[in-house]
Chains A and B, each alone.
Chain A
Amino acid sequence: MRRARVLPVLLLFLAGVVLAQGFGDKPPVEVAPIGNVQVKAGGSKNVSLDFRIGSEFHINSHTPKSPLLIPTVLKLSGPDQVLVSDLKYPAGQEMSFPFSPDEKLSVYSGDFTIDAVLKTPAGVAAGTYPVSGTLRFQACDHSACYPPRNIPVQFQVTVVK
């Protein structure tokens, strides 16, 4: 399988990350722009989806330490011509915070990447197919938390012969 880094253009959206209290309509997590991904018909390709969390925030990892905490979950789906599988989340960072210095939470902060595998069935027609979904997360800063939120994740997959 070939491995494609999907446009590590993180600097482009750095300015958009909200730093002030309250992020209004702007989420504290943003996804890096994802370019067109090429896959050979009948083949597969790994893709890496890059996310950036605003510097004042952290979000729960995919495997938080309490069932009451809301995990980060990426859901992606495409047409029959493109199968998304094997989502691989990074391990969380074990961190404690001023609001609970004796408790370690499993979180993401800064940049993180979720890997996925795209597969195309043999004989699929050449063409461009959309893959879309959402990243669900729940963010906190050092003194408060925001309700869970979904941000869209979408990109195009071009199947070539």
Chain B
Amino acid sequence: MLASGKYLDRTRKHGPIKLVGDVQGVPAPDFTLPSLDGRKVKLSDFRGKAVLLNFWATWCPPCKVEMPWFADLQKQYADDGLVVLGVAMDDTEPATIAKFASDLGVNYQVLLGTDKVSDDYGDVQYLPTTFYIGRDGTIVDKMTGLLDRKEIESAVKKTLGTTYKPASVPVNQADAKVKEAVAGKVAPAKDTNR
């Protein structure tokens, strides 16, 4: 455990990393989750992008307030490298989740959450919870509960300001991989989370 209070629990049942305590600067646990359109989305495919990872549910009224803001931010900052990912923590049918998101103007990818991913991110019990993940894959900030839009945009800008220098993959190849992932052209990955 570091002096700042952040550390990784590597002893849990599911795998090697679980977020505990203060998570700023900690590598975001990777995951592969199905999207509403049936693709498999892997977090680490967005390395080089600033990722806003929002846990929400259809039964969470405060979550509904933020989602149109996230859609606006996705549109506003897409060219700067922002990727918004929504993780629906619902038992509801995907079609219901899709309609709910569509009615709110969601223009970003919505993934179907699992207990394992919730567990990996520190047992996400309080919705909405949003992680801001820097271009290098480490967590810049974590926000729980409904916040002011200005606070959210400030966190987005901070996350966009992070840098990524891949050690072994040339930047142009990494960029191409990210573009493919955003466009949904990445070959389906094996889902190990459900």
Chain A residues with CB under 8 Å of chain B are: 21-22, 68-70, 97, 99-100, 103, 105, 138, 140-141, 143-148
Question: Are A145 and B96 interface neighbours, CB within 8 A?
Answer: no
**Across-interface contacts of B19 in A (CB, < 8 A):** none
Interface size bucket, B side? Answer: 20 to 34
**Across-interface contacts of B64 in A (CB, < 8 A):** 100
Chain B residues with CB under 8 Å of chain A are: 57-65, 89, 92, 96, 100, 125-129, 144-147
Chain B nearest CB, measured from A27 CB (Å): 12
Question: Are B59 and A144 interface neighbours, CB within 8 A?
Answer: no
Give which listed residue, A22, A140, A147, contacts B61 with CB less than 8 A: A140
**Across-interface contacts of A99 in B (CB, < 8 A):** 61-62, 65, 146
Question: Are A144 and B100 interface neighbours, CB within 8 A?
Answer: no
Give which listed residue, A97, A103, A105, A146, contacts B125 with CB less than 8 A: A146
Give complex CA distance A146, B60 in Å: 8
Question: Are B126 and A21 interface neighbours, CB within 8 A?
Answer: yes
**Across-interface contacts of A141 in B (CB, < 8 A):** 145
Q: Which residue of B lies closest to A147 (CB)?
A: B125
Question: Are A145 and B62 interface neighbours, CB within 8 A?
Answer: yes
Kindly list 17 other residue pairs between chains A and B, CB separation below 8 angstroms, not including A144-B128, A146-B127. Answer: A21-B145, A22-B125, A68-B58, A68-B59, A68-B100, A97-B61, A99-B61, A99-B62, A100-B61, A100-B65, A140-B62, A141-B145, A144-B62, A144-B144, A144-B145, A146-B125, A146-B126
| A interface secondary structure, majority | loop
**Across-interface contacts of A70 in B (CB, < 8 A):** 59
| B interface secondary structure, majority | loop
Q: List 30 A-B contacts (CB under 8 A).
A: A22-B126, A68-B96, A68-B100, A97-B61, A99-B61, A99-B62, A99-B146, A100-B62, A103-B61, A138-B59, A143-B62, A143-B147, A144-B62, A144-B126, A144-B127, A144-B128, A144-B129, A144-B144, A144-B146, A145-B57, A145-B59, A145-B60, A145-B63, A145-B126, A146-B125, A146-B126, A146-B127, A147-B57, A147-B125, A147-B127
**Across-interface contacts of A21 in B (CB, < 8 A):** 126, 144-145
Question: Are B127 and A69 interface neighbours, CB within 8 A?
Answer: no
The 10 closest A-B pairs by CB, nearest first: A143-B145, A144-B145, A99-B62, A145-B60, A143-B146, A68-B58, A144-B126, A99-B146, A70-B59, A145-B127
Question: Are B126 and A148 interface neighbours, CB within 8 A?
Answer: no
Q: Which residue of A lies closest to B91 (CB)?
A: A148
Give complex CA distance A138, B126 in Å: 12
**Across-interface contacts of A68 in B (CB, < 8 A):** 58-59, 92, 96, 100
Give complex CA distance A143, B145 in Å: 5
Chain B nearest CB, measured from A18 CB (Å): 12
Give complex CA distance A96, B125 in Å: 23
Counting chain A CB atoms within 10 Å of each CB, the highest count among B61, B65, B144 belongs to: B61
Counting chain A CB atoms within 10 Å of each CB, the highest count among B59, B127, B128 belongs to: B59
